[in-house]
Amino acid sequence: MSSASEFVMRLYRAASGLLPRGFPDDYGAGMEAMFRDEWRARTRVGRVVLVGRAAADLVWTAITVRVLGTHGTRLEGGTTMTMWTGWGMDLRTSLRALARAPLFTGSAALSLALGFGGVATVYALADQMLLDPIEGVRDADALVELTPAGLPYPVVQDYQRAMRTLSGVAAHRARTAALELGPGADPRPVPVGVVSANYFDVLGVSPERGRLLTPSDSLQGAPLVAVLSHAIWTELGRRDDVIGTDVRINGAAFRVVGVAPAGFSGLRLWTHPAVFIPVEGWNAASLGRTPTVDRRGWGWMAAVARLAPGASVAAAVEEVRDVAEQIVTAHPENEADLAQVGVVPARLRAADEAGGALPPLLLALGGMALLALLAAAANVANLLLSRATRRARELSVRAALGAGRARLARLAMVEYGLLVALGAALGLGLSVVALRALGAMPLPGGIRIDVAGFRPDPFYLTAACLLLLLVVAVAGIAPALASGRVSSSLAMSDRSGGGGPRGGRLRAGLAALQVGVSVVLLAGTLLFGQSIVRALGVDLRFTPEQLAVVRIDASLFRDDRAAASSAVSRLLEQIREQPGVDAASWSTVAPLTQDRETETFDIVGRAWPDRRPSVEINAVGGDFFEASGIPLVSGNAEAVAGPVRTPTVVVTESMARRYWPDESPVGATLAIMARSSRWRPWRPTRASTDSAVTPGRWSSACSPPCPRLR
Amino acid sequence: MPRRDPEALLPLKPKPFHILLALEEGGPLHGYAINKSMGERSGGTVSMDPGGLYRLIARLERDGLLGRTEAPPDETDERRQYVDITDWGRAVLRAEARRIAGLAALPSVRDLAGPGA
């Protein structure tokens, strides 16, 4: 016999060790001889198959012989005692055993609950934020979003006309507006879904009542129409006569033509539009701030699309790039909007419009939750083994009285199954509480996490339950099987405890695993804490502790821009009169929030090798720097204090280093596309000697340079 | 020993039946020979792996249908374990054969099986 064959035979003999003690003694030689005969009778390929089958055969034989004996125990009268009889008795015995050991039951159930609760919570978050966040649409997996998110509406229409790999491209954007649900009703700020007429068609959404938007709603001179969300319709008592009535959005009347179905709440997890209107309708509801929605220079729309049957994301990316080039050729002013185009699955944009931040965060959280579950499982396994050691005498007595290994294993399985059920129930409770607590947690940038309506996911709950069952099955049943080998004489003596060297090694291994996982978790927690401490300790160069920020929703003033402006002025005056207030001002972006406004700019007199750069921008009122406490590094402090006289730009140190590395930016003139103006390319905003520089880091995550404009 | 009724064990499942049949016709046999005989007799439809076969042999041995026996003098592989059918096993096998033959003789069964059967 060749050495390879000899090796396989030795392997088979070693693997026979899996079989319960006794069985290989009786039949091992015969099995090995039969395997050898089969081996000799086969060719090379057949031998590979034989080895695979032999492995499966040994494992299955080991399991069945351990659990059932050879084939169940034959009783008198021809009936067979199998693993399916006597469950009720085992259940009662297990309940009594658990109740008699409250400390063990409590600690094990709590451990399981913590691990289970952590996994259920994190995976519910991951599922609803990344894997399956879009509800109420047809075949959400075929939905994609075009990147970047801020596209001019005419560009989205260009895509809709040109794309072949996408069966439809729709524009959508949620804008806050004042909604009045009926005559005399108080206006309240709500998210309004400003969408293209084909939006519902692309998403595959059917109306709950009435109709959804149609292409005729976007024609010039078409009446203003709106589709209510199911939530708002419910608020109105789910009356059918709501169809045909008017609601007011920022003072403009919109005729209700239909109701969106239950379960559909838009494409963003954090923003659920209360009402949907056609993009063209936003002209009437935008308080006069936006002259027209079809400007090619205003990138404000997100584009959602459906992959055509048989088309892949990769093919769509290729085509989007080609179409973008055609658009830029025809409309050079869109070059900046279409600098880096792409296509991503729509579900990845639901919770994180900018993209990129969530997956690593959730991956890290998911990893930590799994480790916590592993630590909990190791802890419980160790508890079970210790308990088995203490119960060795009881199990041996049962064995001596005639209970087979299968019966003892089943008893253990029932007992630990009950334990898992208890832990899972507690963990589920913990998960629900944790998800509610997360919902109530205030997040930076005004994100309302409760809007997402997080709830534990049945799939992950079942998976976590099965994992825990597997752990307790391995940890709980092994000692029971081992105890079946203890002789009855030992059972009656005081030497029955211990669990033997194998049990000791298992316990030591589990303890090592528990300590190892705990160390990893502890280290992770410490690093996380250290990161938070460092983040909190970042030198902002000003003291935010003495700042108070008031948010004002100008849309509540309906279409009266002058009234909004004078109300803000009056408010500022009243604030300034309050005792303890040194200064008050306004800005479009509050420091240390996630708010962003980005514009392209030009430095007058400088030629750019590539395209013009863009920066984050913040329009601020007089006294902003005094009120915020942000110091000026250089420049004319007088020029940026007090009432606005001339347009002045203040740039951050990081922007100064980037664009004026060897000189002072003070005195430079910037040309900035001011947001409130009509599209006039490169209206210069003078900044001459009034320019000043502030330290960086006063925006929360200001990686690009941040000029501040006033 | 109380008198036992072979009918109480019927019907036999196909694999025990084939094992007993192989031993009745060619016994005593070792595991590989039993498997080979079963395969030939069933046209390759009945085949077992060592673990499954010896688990079944253990059960049949426990129930007294077959027993261990000495290897023949010309056996060169001492690890091969030979088994042979017992009288009780033979009685059960005969009872099962009668049961099958009785079934096969039923006109409706012959009709169902068709002319080639």
Q: Supply the pLDDT for residue A477.
A: 63
- Which positions in chain B touch A53 (Cβ < 8 Å)? 49
Q: What is the dihedral of CA A426, A427, A430, A434, to 10 degrees?
A: -170
Q: B68 has which bridge partners?
A: B83
Q: What is the dihedral of CA A322, A325, A327, A328, to 10 degrees?
A: 170
* Nearest CB to A74; choose among B52, B63, B80: B63
Query: Between B13 and A592, where is the model more confident?
Result: B13
Is the Cβ–Cβ distance between A651 and A705 less than 8 Å?
yes
H runs (alpha helix) in A346-402? 347-350, 358-390, 392-400
Residue A390 tokens, joined: 């203490």
Q: In which element (H, E) is residue A571 found? A: helix A561-577
Q: Supply the pLDDT for residue A51.
A: 85
Residue A158 tokens, joined: 């260009």
The answer to whether the Cβ–Cβ distance between B79 and A54 falls below 8 Å is no
3-state helix, strand, coil in chain A (%, to 5): 50, 15, 35
Whole-angstrom Cα Rg for chain A: 35
State the pLDDT confidence band at A74, using cuts at 50, 70 and 90.
very low
The answer to whether the Cβ–Cβ distance between B30 and A65 falls below 8 Å is no
Closest residue in A to B7 (Cα) is A78
Residue A629 has pLDDT above 50, yes or no: yes
**Rounded CA gap, A313 and A345, in Å?**
8
Instruction: Spell out the residues 6+ positions from residue A591 whose beta carbon is closer than 8 angstroms to its own.
Output: A544, A547, A549, A628, A630, A698, A699, A700
A498-510 pLDDT, tens digit per residue, is 445 555 676 677 7
Residue A200 has pLDDT above 70, yes or no: yes
What average pLDDT does the segment B72-78 reach? 82
A214: left (phi over 0), alpha (psi -120 to 50) or beta: beta
A376-399 pLDDT, tens digit per residue, is 877 877 777 777 777 777 777 777
**Rounded CA gap, A604 and A587, in Å?**
25
State the pLDDT confidence band at A261, using cuts at 50, 70 and 90.
very high
* Nearest CB to A61; choose among B8, B52, B77: B52
- Which positions in chain A touch B60 (Cβ < 8 Å)? none
Q: Supply the pLDDT for residue A482.
A: 57
State the pLDDT confidence band at A511, using cuts at 50, 70 and 90.
confident
Q: Supply the pLDDT for residue A79.
A: 42
Ranges A78-82, A571-575, A628-632: which has the least confidence: A78-82
Q: A275 has which bridge partners?
A: A192, A228
The answer to whether the Cβ–Cβ distance between B32 and A61 falls below 8 Å is no
Most confident of A143-152, A329-338, A645-654, A669-678: A143-152
**Rounded CA gap, A584 and A153, in Å?**
37
* Nearest CB to A57; choose among B32, B50, B59: B50
Query: Percent of chain A scored above 70 by pLDDT?
Result: 75
CA-closest candidate to residue A469, choices A409, A410, A417: A417
State the pLDDT confidence band at A193, using cuts at 50, 70 and 90.
very high
B8 in reach of chain A (CB within 8 A): yes
What average pLDDT does the segment A126-147 reach? 81
Q: Supply the pLDDT for residue A255.
A: 93
Residue A488 has pLDDT above 60, yes or no: no
CA-closest candidate to residue A73, choices A545, A508, A434, A410: A410
Residue A485 has pLDDT above 80, yes or no: no
Query: Between A267 and A85, where is the model more confident?
Result: A267
Residue A542 has pLDDT above 90, yes or no: no
Residue A199 has pLDDT above 90, yes or no: yes
Taking the CB of residue A465, how many other CB atoms lie within 10 A of it? 19
Q: Supply the pLDDT for residue A60.
A: 82
B95-111 pLDDT, tens digit per residue, is 999 998 988 888 888 88
Q: In which element (H, E) is residue A58 found? A: helix A44-68
What average pLDDT does the segment A6-26 reach? 79
What average pLDDT does the segment A136-159 reach? 86
CA A200 to chain centre: 25
Quick one: A31 exposed, middle or buried, by C-beta within 10 A (0-12, 13-18, 19+)?
buried
Residue A675 has pLDDT above 80, yes or no: no
3-state secondary structure of A304: strand
List the helix and strand counts (H, then E) for chain A.
Answer: 20, 21
What average pLDDT does the segment A411-440 reach? 81
CA A194 to chain centre: 25
Is the Cβ–Cβ distance between A572 and A586 less than 8 Å?
yes
Q: Supply the pLDDT for residue A210.
A: 92
- Which positions in chain B touch A36 (Cβ < 8 Å)? 77, 79
**Rounded CA gap, A272 and A267, in Å?**
8
What average pLDDT does the segment A593-618 reach? 70
Q: Which of residues 3-42 of A touch B (CB under 8 A)?
A: 19, 23, 26-27, 29-38
Residue A222 has pLDDT above 70, yes or no: yes
Q: Supply the pLDDT for residue A259.
A: 94
Residue A97 has pLDDT above 80, yes or no: yes
Taking the CB of residue A250, how many other CB atoms lie within 10 A of it? 26
The answer to whether the Cβ–Cβ distance between B51 and A33 falls below 8 Å is no
User: What φ, ψ does residue A244 adopt, rounded to 5°?
Assistant: 100, -10
| Strands ordered across the beta sheet of A649-652 | A618-619, A708-709, A649-652, A692-694, A634-635
Residue A77 has pLDDT above 50, yes or no: no
Q: Supply the pLDDT for residue A625.
A: 78
Quick one: B114 exposed, middle or buried, by C-beta within 10 A (0-12, 13-18, 19+)?
exposed
A346-357 pLDDT, tens digit per residue, is 887 777 766 666
What average pLDDT does the segment A625-641 reach? 72
Q: A116 has which bridge partners?
A: none
Amino acid found at A37? D
Residue A684 has pLDDT above 50, yes or no: no
Q: Supply the pLDDT for residue B94.
A: 92
Q: Supply the pLDDT for residue A702.
A: 33
Most confident of A470-474, A524-528, B46-50: B46-50
Q: In which element (H, E) is residue A46 found? A: helix A44-68
Q: Supply the pLDDT for residue B1.
A: 45
Q: What is the reported pTM?
A: 0.54
Instruction: Spell out the residues 6+ positions from residue B103 whose beta carbon is closer than 8 angstroms to its own.
Output: B109
- Which positions in chain B touch A26 (Cβ < 8 Å)? 58
Q: Supply the pLDDT for residue A258.
A: 94
State the pLDDT confidence band at A549, using cuts at 50, 70 and 90.
confident
The answer to whether the Cβ–Cβ distance between B50 and A34 falls below 8 Å is yes
* Nearest CB to B55; choose among A36, A56, A65: A65
ipTM above 0.95, yes or no: no
Whole-angstrom Cα Rg for chain B: 16
Dmax over CA atoms of chain A, in Å, equals: 108
B37 in reach of chain A (CB within 8 A): no
Q: Supply the pLDDT for residue A533.
A: 77
The answer to whether the Cβ–Cβ distance between A34 and B63 falls below 8 Å is no
State chain B's mean pLDDT as an integer: 85
State chain A's mean pLDDT as an integer: 75
Q: How many residues does chain B have?
A: 117
Residue A677 has pLDDT above 60, yes or no: no
Helix axes of A358-390 and A392-400: crossing angle, nearest 10 degrees: 60
Residue A291 has pLDDT above 60, yes or no: no
Residue A424 has pLDDT above 80, yes or no: yes
Query: Between A248 and A466, where is the model more confident?
Result: A248
Q: Supply the pLDDT for residue A528.
A: 74
Q: Supply the pLDDT for residue A487.
A: 40
State the pLDDT confidence band at A688, using cuts at 50, 70 and 90.
very low
State the pLDDT confidence band at A610, using cuts at 50, 70 and 90.
low
Q: Supply the pLDDT for residue A665.
A: 77
Residue A158 has pLDDT above 80, yes or no: yes
Query: Percent of chain B scored above 70 by pLDDT?
Result: 96
What average pLDDT does the segment A191-202 reach? 92
